[in-house]
């Protein structure tokens, strides 16, 4: 009798094995001639070599399903264990539209025409400027694209950054360590990630540096290789900050720069680095620009009306 040890990595064994080891029990019913022992994140399996090979193949399919959909139930397990393997390849057009299967299987996809253009442009370019008012899904769509790239191993890490500029308020002294002082500025990025990655896995990614969230000033001197990098609130960058950030781009990197020129919080005489870069880089191959508007707003219905109302009174 052959023995093999399989270790689950980057996956929570309790979630994968299910309540009362329900996943293991289903595997035992499907592979009655294999002895399966689960301890912590390790599985010991005993049996004939051919059966062990088939077991490992089916287990890998279950792990891929779990990583993709963030859940595993009895019906899904049954379908995977009895499938021929062809079913996964025959997804319809609707399945292709889904960027990420978020927490509890939530389908996360582009919801408007311009958001779909964002997705398409990122497939063809390495750098994208997404410009538009609040609520148009710039950040959320960009984070979804980053999580998708990480899950599909197109990149090794996600880096999310934004300038730590106060929105017309003086926050004064903030207690706590550096992370606690900066977290309020980064909250929209955390909110998007929490929708897309289960809590324990997100915490693990943050702890290991697979996902990094930092203020723009911390990007200086770095070369960002094999990374999906998002600069949020880019309208609040200065000329020097924007130039510094854009030149951090390393090999196999994707950059998304999000901003709303109508919400600049810089001092009055300070020119926004976003406005400069949109003009300077508009004709460079590999860099795309997308402009979202009130038709892309996916927040409360009143937000569209608010944006329209302010258009008439805004000045540069």
Per-residue confidence (pLDDT) for residue 169, from 0 to 100: 42
Per-residue confidence (pLDDT) for residue 121, from 0 to 100: 95
Sign of the Cα pseudo-torsion (147, 148, 151, 154, in order): negative
Q: Give the 3-state secondary structure of residue 36.
A: strand
Rounded Cα gap, residues 293 and 300, in angstroms: 15
Per-residue confidence (pLDDT) for residue 181, from 0 to 100: 64
Mean pLDDT score, 111-129: 93
Q: Are 65 and 80 in contact (CB under 8 A)?
A: yes
- Beta-strand pair 107-109/98-101: antiparallel
Tokens 């299910």: give the residue.
18
Per-residue confidence (pLDDT) for residue 165, from 0 to 100: 62
Asked whether residue 15 carries a pLDDT value surpassing 90, the answer given is no
Quickly count helices (H) and strands (E) in the chain: 12, 11
Same fold for the pair 2-88 and 94-311: no
Cα distances (Å, whole numbers) of residue 43 to 19, 49, 51, 57, 223: 16, 16, 15, 14, 39
Mean pLDDT score, 233-259: 94
Q: Give the 3-state secondary structure of residue 41.
A: coil
Tokens 């990094």: give the residue.
212
Find the range with the poorest average confidence among 97-106, 206-215, 219-228: 97-106
Asked whether residue 177 carries a pLDDT value surpassing 50, the answer given is yes
Per-residue confidence (pLDDT) for residue 95, from 0 to 100: 56
Asked whether residue 74 carries a pLDDT value surpassing 90, the answer given is no
b/e sequence 52-83, b meaning 16+ C-beta within 10 Å: beebeebbebbbebbeebbebeeebbeebbee
Mean pLDDT score, 56-69: 84
Could you please state the CATH topology (level 3) that the domain comprising 2-88 is classified under: Ribosomal Protein S8; Chain: A, domain 1 (3.30.1370)
Domain coordinates of the chain in residue numbers?
2-88, 94-311
Q: Give the 3-state secondary structure of residue 301.
A: helix
Per-residue confidence (pLDDT) for residue 295, from 0 to 100: 80
Q: How confident is the model at residue 90 (pLDDT cuts 50, 70, 90)?
A: very low
Per-residue confidence (pLDDT) for residue 251, from 0 to 100: 95
> Rounded to the nearest 5°, which phi and psi values hold at 98?
-75, 125
Per-residue confidence (pLDDT) for residue 170, from 0 to 100: 44
Mean pLDDT score, 285-299: 87
Is CATH 3.40.140.10 correct for 94-311?
A: no
Per-residue confidence (pLDDT) for residue 178, from 0 to 100: 58
């Amino acid at each position: 009798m052959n023995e093999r040890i399989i270790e689950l990595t980057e996956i929570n064994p309790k979630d994968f094995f299910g309540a009362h080891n329900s996943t293991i029990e289903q595997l035992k019913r499907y592979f009655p001639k294999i002895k399966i022992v689960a301890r912590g994140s390790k599985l010991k399996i005993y049996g004939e070599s051919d059966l062990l090979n088939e077991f490992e193949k089916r287990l890998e399919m279950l792990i891929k399903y779990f990583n993709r959909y963030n859940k595993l139930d009895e019906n899904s397990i049954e379908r995977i264990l009895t499938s021929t393997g062809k079913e996964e390849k025959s997804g319809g057009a609707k399945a292709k539209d889904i960027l990420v299967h978020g927490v509890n299987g939530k389908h996360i996809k582009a919801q408007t025409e311009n958001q779909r253009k964002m997705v398409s442009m990122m497939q063809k370019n390495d750098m994208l400027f997404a410009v538009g008012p609040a609520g148009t899904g710039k950040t959320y769509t960009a984070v979804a694209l980053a999580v998708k790239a990480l899950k599909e191993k197109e990149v090794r890490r996600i880096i999310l950054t934004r300038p730590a500029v106060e929105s017309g308020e003086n926050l004064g002294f903030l207690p706590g360590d550096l992370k606690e002082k900066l977290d309020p500025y980064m909250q929209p990025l955390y909110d998007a990630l929490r929708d897309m990655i289960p809590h324990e896995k997100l915490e693990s990614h943050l702890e290991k540096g697979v996902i990094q969230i930092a203020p723009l000033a911390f990007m200086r001197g770095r070369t960002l290789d094999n990374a999906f990098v998002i600069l949020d609130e880019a309208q609040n960058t200065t000329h020097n900050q924007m130039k510094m950030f854009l030149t951090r781009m390393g090999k196999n990197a994707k950059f998304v720069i999000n901003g709303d020129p109508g919400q600049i919080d810089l001092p009055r005489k300070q020119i926004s680095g976003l406005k400069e870069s949109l003009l300077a880089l508009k004709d460079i191959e590999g860099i795309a620009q997308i402009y979202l508007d009130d038709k892309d707003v996916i927040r409360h219905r009143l937000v569209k009306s608010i944006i329209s109302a302010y258009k008439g009174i805004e000045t540069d």
